[in-house]
Amino acid sequence: MTNPAAEGFRMPAEWDPHTRTWMGWPCREEVWGDRMEAAATAYADVARAIAEFEPVTMVCNPSDVAEASLALGSGIEILSAPIDDSWLRDSGPTFLVDGKGALAAADWKFNAWGEKYKPYDQDAALAAVIIEKVGARRFEAPFVLEGGAIHVDGEGTALVTEQCLLNPNRNPGLDKAAIEQGLKDYLGVEKVLWLGDGLEDDETDGHIDELACFARPGVLMITSPSDTDDPDYATVQDNVTRLKGETDARGRALEIVELPQPARRDYPDGGRITLSYVNFYMPNGGIVMPAFGAAEDRAAFRIMKETFPDRKIVQVPASDIAWGGGGIHCITQQQPEP
């Protein structure tokens, strides 16, 4: 059986040029409850911010098209298609390019973050719908993966966590070596950097896009708690130690940029809400990053300006998105220019 890497395809870096961004409209009552309207407003704010840089397509259940159209305005395309949930980073395709003008996509098996939400059959079928819509070549992956669990530098290196990819609720029949080979086959990478655990109470079981990401080849950004008593502090220190002992696929030592972590917030049941400035998105020429109404918002914005001096930084309120279990990166999926 062929695979993307064997056919010359790879996942480009998020900072490479995009054709558009894909998003999904909030719809799962179990996630949002009486916060559904606030979630819709937050998603619309993110969509409009991204639309200042590149086209955006919002996938909506047919029953939500009218509401979404009014909230989004005329500048954002809507695709009516059945969905169970609204985290397009995870349920959508991961697009690939071959450097010769062809566009393809990996269609991962999707099981709602280890069977946490049911039903999820419509989300599991969504990637194929989008791939057909854009006319890309579809590669059906033989294993479970979410787009928020991976980050690449576009030059052969992938970043993941053991907590997520080795979790028995994803691929219990695959060991670390098999999963790593799958990433190489379907992302076109040459080296996988394995971090350990993700952030405390992260419902995704440690998605990398809440913890760390590439800013450019050889440079990573990582969430950095300042409180040594915070359970995330030891987790992050372990991951920083791992990174300092690694090189990327091109043999470069890794520079690490730390982003502050906002003060802890909890759900009414006591579980921790995942708040991370690392969970940002890179549209053409810009950065759309979260604001949490926290004291750390200003410092995070300054660090982003220093790290990305050639990009316009836009900070969008994201506390209502975080309530649902994710962030700005989690609700977006880039379609690269082929």
The residue type at 51? A
What was the pLDDT predicted at 96? Answer: 98
**Beta pairing partners, 315:** 289
DSSP state, residue 198: -
Catalytic (active-site) positions: 330
What was the pLDDT predicted at 168? Answer: 97
What was the pLDDT predicted at 233? Answer: 98
Given a contact cutoff of 8 angstroms between Cβ atoms, the answer to whether 290 and 279 are in contact is: yes
Q: Whose CA is closest to 338, among 104, 101, 155, 154? A: 101
What was the pLDDT predicted at 77? Answer: 98
Specify the pTM: 0.98
Q: Is the dihedral of CA 223, 229, 232, 237 positive or negative?
A: positive
What was the pLDDT predicted at 257? Answer: 98
pLDDT along the chain (338 residues), means of 10: 94 98 98 97 98 98 98 96 98 98 98 98 98 98 98 98 98 97 98 98 98 98 96 98 96 98 95 98 98 98 98 98 98 98
What was the pLDDT predicted at 227? Answer: 94
**62-72 pLDDT, tens digit each:** 999 999 999 99
Three-state DSSP class for residue 11:
coil
Q: What is the CA radius of gyration of the chain?
A: 18
* Domains delineated in the chain: 5-336 (3.75.10.10)
The residue type at 29? E
DSSP state, residue 266: B
